[in-house]
Structure 1
Amino acid sequence: MPAKVALVTGSSAGLGAAIAKALSRDYRIVVNYHSDLSKAQKVVEECTRALEEDGTSMTPRSHIVKADISVRSDIIKLVEEVMTVMGRLDVVVSNVGWTRIVKFSDLEQNMNDEDWDRCFSLNVKSHLWLFHAARPYVQANSDGGSFLVVASLAGVVPAGSSIPYSVSKAAAIHLSKCLASFPEQVVESMRDKTILKRVVDLDDVANLAKTVVLNGSLTGQNFTIDCGIAL
């Protein structure tokens, strides 16, 4: 069986390069870059050296792929090239992101539509596109694999280089949770843990929403509909 393969996007420099190097003793590495081939080559040289020192004989030990991660078709081609050259894909680290630094507290500086669109394209949608493209290959492995999204503290607390960046990083975190979909056995397990022995019905939520809207005495309240699982 070929040695396992890890793809790290945006890995010609910075955090992506550091992650690629950290994984290089355990995985054959695919380095993705957008504009600077020389930097990508340096990262690959270090990763290859680490594999050689560890005694990995499988070739190719590493590979470089140029791809614009803001373009879905480029992502599809990226994954296809990984499979063609490396033969398998076990780990995907979705590391690419984008921001433009503005004053966080100045709303006017955070009202640029192009910033919002680019932040969501690179900080959210690119992760989804990469997950979708890589998923069938990762799942084909007998022992599965891993898909890691690199977010930011700005996605946890309202801070950072801009509001679009902070909001898009929060969306990336939530997207990751959504992609970690619940198989049916997990849903059944959750149902068994509820006091009412059922899962929440959409009509129940809709009826509560109607009650809240029509009740003029309610404000600032948080309502939990969970069939008693939190009790």
Structure 2
Amino acid sequence: MATQKVALITAGTAGLGAQIARVLAPDFRIVINYANNQARATSLLDELHGIPRIRSAAQSPRFDAIQADVGDRSAIQRLVQETVAKFGRLDVVVSNAGWTRVTNFNVLDEGMIDEDWDKCFLYNVKSHLWLMHAAKEELERREGAFPSICHVICSPKIRVNSVSPGLLLTDWGMSFGPAKIEAATNATKLKRLATVEDVADQVRVLATTKSMTGQNLVVDSGLTL
């Protein structure tokens, strides 16, 4: 039997990351990355082990969790190295981590905190580039995939695509408050917000397709039309 492919998911223990793990679990072996909540990672691993495999024969390990702060380049390198060491290969890297702070756009002083800008650039831009660089050799060897959330990074021999979901009602999305959530919903053409299930299904497409690269799938219920 062919060796089962391996996927690494950053920020993979809650919200969208956890749902991506669930939809990939039937036919991928998976490493979920977490920053500090080991208990949540362990709980998700228990859940994943209850999801039936598509392949009949078990391959070990099937799932694992690795702690790493993706805002630290050396930690990202270690994360990729440990994944390959434990699973023997790496075929898909889902670059899901990010950070933001909700502010009042009309209050200029709220946007003048240098630390917020630096952290936002670190987790929303640099960390994705570092992750691609760390995984590049292994993904090129496997003709692998690098689906990311809201970012497209070009690389030959690797299927690099992204998904732009708009407002998701994760912990981050709920922080906007009821009024903004209602306004965002009403602004969409379909009068609904995309769910983590919607977005995770598209990530699965990007993880498994053989002939798509350099694309950004907009999953926002028509908000940007």
3-state secondary structure, aligned to 2:12? coil
Matched, 1:148 2:147: yes
Q: What pairs up with 1:8-47 in 2 under 5 angstroms?
A: 8-47=9-48
State the partner residue of 2:155.
Answer: none
State the partner residue of 1:82.
Answer: 83
Q: If you compute each CA radius of gyration, which structure gives the higher value, 1 or 2?
A: 1
The Cα shift of 1:26 comes to 1.5
Q: Alpha carbon RMSD of aligned pairs, Å?
A: 2.2
Code of the aligned partner of 1:124: V
Report the CA distance shift for 1:107/1:154 in structure 2 as closer, same or farther (over 3 A): farther
State the partner residue of 2:181.
Answer: none
Matched, 1:136 2:141: no
Code of the aligned partner of 1:140: R
3-state secondary structure, aligned to 1:63? strand
The Cα shift of 1:94 comes to 0.6
The Cα shift of 1:53 comes to 7.1
Code of the aligned partner of 2:121: F
C-alpha separation between the residues in 2 aligned to 1:80 and 1:8?
14
State the partner residue of 1:127.
Answer: 128
> Runs of 5+ in structure 2 lacking a partner?
151-163, 168-172, 177-212, 215-225
Code of the aligned partner of 2:30: I
The Cα shift of 1:108 comes to 2.0
State the partner residue of 2:60.
Answer: 59
C-alpha separation between the residues in 1 aligned to 2:140 and 2:59?
22
3-state secondary structure, aligned to 2:61? coil
State the partner residue of 1:114.
Answer: 115
3-state secondary structure, aligned to 1:30? strand
- Which has the higher relative contact order, 1 or 2, with Cα contacts under 8 A spaced 6 or more apart? 2
Quick check: which one's helix share is greater?
1
Report the CA distance shift for 1:53/1:38 in structure 2 as closer, same or farther (over 3 A): farther
Report the CA distance shift for 1:41/1:154 in structure 2 as closer, same or farther (over 3 A): same
3-state secondary structure, aligned to 2:119? helix
Q: Is the 8 A contact 2:27 2:54 kept in 1?
A: no
> Runs of 5+ in structure 1 lacking a partner?
163-179, 182-231
Report the CA distance shift for 1:153/1:22 in structure 2 as closer, same or farther (over 3 A): closer
Code of the aligned partner of 1:97: G
For residues 131-151 of structure 1, give each alpha carbon's deviation from its aligned partner in whole angstroms, at most 9, with x where no partner exists: 00001001111xx11101112
State the partner residue of 1:104.
Answer: 105
How many residues were matched structurally? Answer: 158
C-alpha separation between the residues in 1 aligned to 2:144 and 2:50?
24
The Cα shift of 1:125 comes to 0.4
For residues 156-180 of structure 1, give each alpha carbon's deviation from its aligned partner in whole angstroms, at most 9, with x where no partner exists: xxxx989xxxxxxxxxxxxxxxxx6
C-alpha separation between the residues in 2 aligned to 1:138 and 1:12?
23
C-alpha separation between the residues in 2 aligned to 1:23 and 1:52?
10
3-state secondary structure, aligned to 1:50? coil
Q: Is the 8 A contact 2:6 2:92 kept in 1?
A: yes
- TM-score, length basis structure 2: 0.65
C-alpha separation between the residues in 2 aligned to 1:112 and 1:132?
30
For residues 23-71 of structure 1, give each alpha carbon's deviation from its aligned partner in whole angstroms, at most 9, with x where no partner exists: 1012001011111111111111222222457534111001110000000
Over the matched positions of the two proteins, sequence identity in percent amounts to 44
